[in-house]
Structure 1
């Protein structure tokens, strides 16, 4: 959880880790309580709240359509649960009414934040691809606006096939980017058994940073994931023709480990890459999904500041 001011400025954060139960209300309640505690500790007032969800969020319903890596049921009403939790926690605006809660896909929100305040600034057609604890997500910002498709479900890039002979994916296909280029894939390729102590993302990051220079198995795993990721990015470049690509989560570390290899794969496999190359950059914002969630909550204030703040 985080408190985020105008301009993407993070005021305070509350790190947390918990086992995710099948009922999303338990996680959402915990997140809201962490946010409420930050408000109490800092004395700040809240004008809105945003929730970053590890799933496509269908619009206009605000439901989690495909939470493949958590045990939530498909179609869980995450926005409704979020607003209910905000009201129960007593998080209210200047008018005494509960603040409005918004919800969006976590990678979509990361892309929005990076476009406004980070590595995506100035891009007209920005492609963001990232991996967190599990899976791979993508987002596209066109002319300053998220492209979410007709119902909020666009850019499910994790289900591009990059290895037709690969293992089965949760979606029913095989060899998808989702299971070929996430932290678990990296740990497995490097011959490591993941432990339960910290997130898979943190385990993969630690292994890459500490052992890349000294262990051939880690370098080989890095090369394998870069090649898989590059294939996926090349396909996206051919379809979308972005003017910039930004990478988050473990993908940011893979880019930094061997930037020329990734760029070479994308250039070799894409028409647009051959014609001059597409800049591929690391995301630069800490907690970019949370910053993006805050951007959703700030938008009514930016659209009509006096009305949103109860002035006039």
Structure 2
């Protein structure tokens, strides 16, 4: 029901492989926990034959989790219900300080305010950060390139302390979970958005700064041996005269296809008033016919396609989804991007891989919520204890 695959009790019966009575008992338990609603009058949808079945739906007034996202220009907090539905959200703009406790405190304070305003029950909290995160300890394991946080910062501990200070505690598995923002965006898109149905889903995205990647295989994130896999931003796509990357190399995807690269390639001087991502999107929307803008779209599209082709050769995905500015580049010239991927892929098979735009608003936030919801999905009866 969380992923929309069981809209009726009959479908639930089939998916679980149990009797109608057992499926009915399961649905009744979930309804008693306030997680779902069961239509009291069974009915058949238009065009359907056979015995009518009770319709099932996520309870719109049910519990929520607090989801937070930190990025180079500030943060966003949200309350997210089952089904990946954002109940309420608020952005926060601030210079992210070197001590993560300050911004994480602001994230939790904003989320707590939303909880007070909505009166909703909170059953967990998750956080998305723009850095690789080591598992299971929850540290920012590599230099968080676009934040000033020290390497090895224990973000999970700081997040948990902020939640405790705000009185948001409960099931220790559900409160204080963190992950990389693009990993979480891919997880959310696989469950609720453009990645549904893919067995080997590759997600590449650029947000406010830099480029990230993620791979979902049969519904599970591939994070490597310690959580640090798919640092796709450090693929070299412009070795001759490319920009110096934070990693020490030149011409990485991270600095050749992000919003700063787009603005400078288009001959624009970035301003401080709004985020680099928003400035890039405004430029694409307001001046799509400008020769410099068209040229910048072409250059970044070619470099993005070169990077995607390398990933196709290595990972052999059955679908690629693009987020952030990359989604806008795809929309601006989808044929060009597909042609570059096909041309640079082994045997040209890359041209057969569908490339789509990420479809969820705030997918990293929804992914952070997925982390917090997972213990409840694994064992809904834990809510009966009042967590």
CA distance in 2: counterparts of 1:12 and 1:272, whole angstroms = 47
- CA contact under 8 A between 1:126 and 1:242: conserved in structure 2? yes
Match runs of 1:1-312 below 5 Å: 1-66=77-142, 67-93=144-170, 100-165=175-240, 166-212=242-288, 214-271=289-346, 273-274=348-349, 277-310=352-385
Once the two structures are superposed, residues 153-208 of structure 1 have per-residue CA deviations (whole angstroms, 9 ceiling, x without a partner) of 00000000001121211001110000000000000000001011111000001001
C-alpha spacing 1:90/1:157, structure 2 compared with 1 (3 Å): same
C-alpha spacing 1:275/1:186, structure 2 compared with 1 (3 Å): closer
- CA contact under 8 A between 2:199 and 2:318: conserved in structure 1? yes
- CA contact under 8 A between 1:39 and 1:45: conserved in structure 2? yes
Cα offset, 1:308, TM superposition: 4.3
Gaps of 5+ in 2: 1-76
C-alpha spacing 1:92/1:309, structure 2 compared with 1 (3 Å): farther
CA distance in 2: counterparts of 1:195 and 1:57, whole angstroms = 30
RMSD of aligned residue pairs (Cα, Å): 1.6
Aligned-partner SS, 2:123: coil
- Bigger Cα Rg: 2
- CA contact under 8 A between 2:338 and 2:351: conserved in structure 1? no
- CA contact under 8 A between 1:92 and 1:99: conserved in structure 2? no
Cα offset, 1:16, TM superposition: 1.6
TM-score normalized with structure 1 length: 0.96
- CA contact under 8 A between 1:60 and 1:151: conserved in structure 2? yes
- CA contact under 8 A between 2:174 and 2:373: conserved in structure 1? no
Q: Which has the higher contact order (CA 8 A, sep 6+)?
A: 1
CA distance in 1: counterparts of 2:199 and 2:243, whole angstroms = 36
Higher alpha-carbon deviation: 300-309 or 79-88: 300-309
C-alpha spacing 1:207/1:60, structure 2 compared with 1 (3 Å): same
Q: What is the aligned residue count? A: 309
Cα offset, 1:307, TM superposition: 2.0
Once the two structures are superposed, residues 193-238 of structure 1 have per-residue CA deviations (whole angstroms, 9 ceiling, x without a partner) of 10111110000010011111x2000000010000010000000000
Cα offset, 1:310, TM superposition: 1.5
TM-score normalized with structure 2 length: 0.78
CA distance in 1: counterparts of 2:348 and 2:81, whole angstroms = 38
C-alpha spacing 1:272/1:278, structure 2 compared with 1 (3 Å): farther
C-alpha spacing 1:40/1:99, structure 2 compared with 1 (3 Å): farther
- CA contact under 8 A between 2:174 and 2:375: conserved in structure 1? no
CA distance in 2: counterparts of 1:100 and 1:275, whole angstroms = 40
Aligned-partner SS, 1:172: coil
CA distance in 2: counterparts of 1:279 and 1:22, whole angstroms = 40
